[in-house]
């Protein structure tokens, strides 16, 4: 094992983060190579800097005029150079301030400086590299994003442990989650993966359900299990009902117990409508961890980033940084939120007036999506019927669940969309 990895492991020894590290996580470190030496030179090489592989002219990055002309509001330094492996420091600092603003329960909590990753998928994969490995149990609901199995099972050979997403009464199945977490936790270490607002259901926990989730994690930790509580907050902020818990559960997990390492993956992707920018963040927090521990974990995260994608887009980070600093930022975000909330309300009204023996709308209260459960016929058959006969795209989640993204349909077209979905479902059921 590399001496730098040994040093980082020694710093984390005796903490929940050190206990949860996978074999790969223990081996990861950030090398004192080109990137680290270039960062040091940037700070101290006042005369000439001959470290990094970037072409400069007159102290500024060289560029093609045809590209520069498209980006005339940004300085060349904001566009063309490599970004630091950990991300732009001003953006990291600003995102940490945003976390505190959006999550009041984080006040006084100990957590790391967010690290920039090229999208939320990369953030989840990076955490899987550090903390998941062959046989490590990963607890998640049966209705989940289809990339999770690819990241945790296919890439890292972790063991997926699922439970039904919905309780009998229609809310989030806290009891099912608690039971799965408790059983998996008996192995000593476990990853709990929560995604709210959920993809594909569009459901987020109520305030009471959120408290029950936190209590279940606390109880499992106090039984002796080490838990990585990972919140995928891709759709954070898109909460439409007053009884919904509107903070990230990361804020409640951070200081919960010394056996719980909280990890938050979020980004500007959906929050700022920058899907193609691939600008995400990873933030860690745990009771009992200090700055030295967070620095060690950050170096390991940087090692994972450096050894895979190297760094995130300088241009994307610069644009996001400027946008968040803009005086119109909050107003523009509110306008986007209201547009999505209007679509949500319209879908709720449309579904309230529909009766069907074939389609059951599953509970939803947030995010981009809603889903149907089919009483008769298969979701894949319904998907293809809609696509081939009606020219409508939807997603078959499993054999019986069909996802509809109301986020991508103008409010004026929503009634026609659901007319087509219900009619196609009847045709599929008649043939089943």
Query: Residue 60 has what pLDDT?
Result: 75
CATH number at residue 12: 3.40.640.10
- Residues 367, 373, 374, 375, CA torsion sign: negative
Residue 76 lies in a domain: no
Query: Residue 61 has what pLDDT?
Result: 72
CA 79 to chain centre: 26
Q: How far apart are CA 230 and CA 86, in angstroms?
A: 20
Domain count, the chain: 2
- Same domain for 352 and 295? no
**Residue 124 CB contacts under 8 Å (≥ 6 apart), including other chains:** 147, 148, 151, 230, 232, 265
- Same domain for 226 and 359? no
Domain boundary among 325, 360, 395: 325
- Same domain for 100 and 219? yes
Residue 264 lies in a domain: yes
Q: How far apart are CA 233 and CA 248, in angstroms?
A: 7
Query: Residue 296 has what pLDDT?
Result: 97
Query: Residue 50 has what pLDDT?
Result: 52
Residue 109 lies in a domain: yes
> For each successive 10 residues of the chain (432 residues), what is the average pLDDT?
91 94 89 66 64 66 73 89 94 97 95 97 96 97 94 94 96 98 96 97 98 98 97 96 98 97 95 90 97 97 94 94 91 91 96 95 96 95 92 92 92 93 95 88
**pTM score, two decimals?**
0.91
What is the domain range of residue 246? 3-30+85-325
Q: How far apart are CA 147 and CA 153, in angstroms?
A: 10
Residue 201 lies in a domain: yes
Residue 48 lies in a domain: no
- Same domain for 348 and 312? no
CATH number at residue 377: 3.90.1150.10
Domain boundary among 293, 325, 357: 325
Domain boundary among 308, 325, 342: 325
- Same domain for 100 and 207? yes
- Same domain for 266 and 362? no
User: Can you list the pairs that 36-43 forms with residues at least 24 positions away whose Cβ atoms lie under 8 Å?
Assistant: 39/84
Residue 14 lies in a domain: yes
Residue 49 lies in a domain: no
Query: Residue 70 has what pLDDT?
Result: 74
- Same domain for 213 and 286? yes
- Same domain for 148 and 282? yes
- Same domain for 187 and 268? yes
- Same domain for 291 and 336? no
Q: How far apart are CA 383 and CA 278, in angstroms?
A: 29
Structure-token match 């951070």, residue found: 254
| Integer angstrom CA distances of residue 326 from 236, 323, 332, 333 | 20, 5, 10, 11
Query: Residue 55 has what pLDDT?
Result: 62
- Same domain for 310 and 343? no
Residue 58 lies in a domain: no
- Same domain for 282 and 389? no
């Amino acid at each position: 094992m590399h001496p730098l990895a040994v040093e980082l492991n020694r710093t984390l020894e005796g903490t929940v983060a050190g206990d949860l590290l996978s074999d790969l996580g223990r081996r990861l470190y950030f090398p004192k190579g080109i990137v680290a030496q270039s960062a040091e030179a940037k700070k101290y090489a006042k005369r000439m800097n001959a470290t990094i592989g970037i072409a400069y002219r007159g102290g500024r990055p060289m560029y093609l005029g045809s590209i520069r002309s498209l980006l005339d509001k940004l300085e060349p330094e904001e566009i063309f150079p490599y970004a630091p492996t950990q991300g732009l420091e001003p953006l990291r600092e600003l995102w940490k301030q945003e976390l505190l603003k959006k999550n009041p329960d984080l006040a006084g909590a100990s957590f790391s400086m967010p690290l920039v990753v090229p999208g939320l998928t990369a953030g989840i994969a990076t955490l899987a590299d550090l903390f998941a490995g062959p046989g490590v149990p990963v607890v998640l609901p049966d209705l989940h994003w289809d990339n999770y199995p690819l990241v945790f099972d296919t890439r890292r050979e972790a063991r997926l442990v699922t439970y039904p997403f919905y309780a009998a009464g229609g809310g989030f199945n806290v009891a099912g989650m608690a039971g799965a977490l408790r059983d998996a936790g008996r192995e000593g270490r476990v990853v709990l993966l929560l995604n709210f607002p959920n993809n594909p259901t569009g459901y987020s926990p109520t305030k009471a359900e959120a408290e029950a989730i936190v209590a279940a994690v606390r109880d499992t930790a106090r039984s002796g299990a080490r838990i990585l509580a990972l919140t995928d907050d891709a759709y954070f902020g898109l909460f439409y009902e007053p009884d919904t818990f509107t903070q990230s559960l990361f804020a409640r997990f951070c200081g919960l117990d010394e056996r719980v390492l909280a990890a938050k993956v979020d980004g500007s992707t959906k929050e700022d409508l920058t899907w193609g920018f691939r600008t995400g963040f990873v933030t860690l927090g745990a009771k009992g961890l200090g700055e030295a521990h967070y620095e060690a974990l950050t170096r390991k995260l940087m090692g994972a980033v450096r050894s895979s994608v190297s760094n995130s887009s300088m241009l994307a980070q610069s644009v996001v940084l400027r946008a968040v600093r803009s005086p119109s930022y909050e107003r523009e975000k509110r306008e986007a939120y209201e547009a999505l909330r209007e679509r949500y309300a319209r879908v709720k009204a449309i579904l309230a007036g529909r009766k069907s023996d074939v389609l059951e709308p599953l509970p939803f209260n947030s995010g981009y999506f809603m889903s149907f459960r089919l009483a008769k016929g298969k979701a894949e058959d319904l998907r293809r019927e809609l696509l081939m006969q009606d020219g409508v795209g939807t997603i078959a989640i499993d054999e019986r669940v069909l996802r509809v993204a109301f986020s991508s349909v103008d409010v004026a077209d929503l009634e026609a969309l659901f007319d087509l979905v219900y009619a196609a479902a009847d045709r599929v059921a008649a043939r089943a």
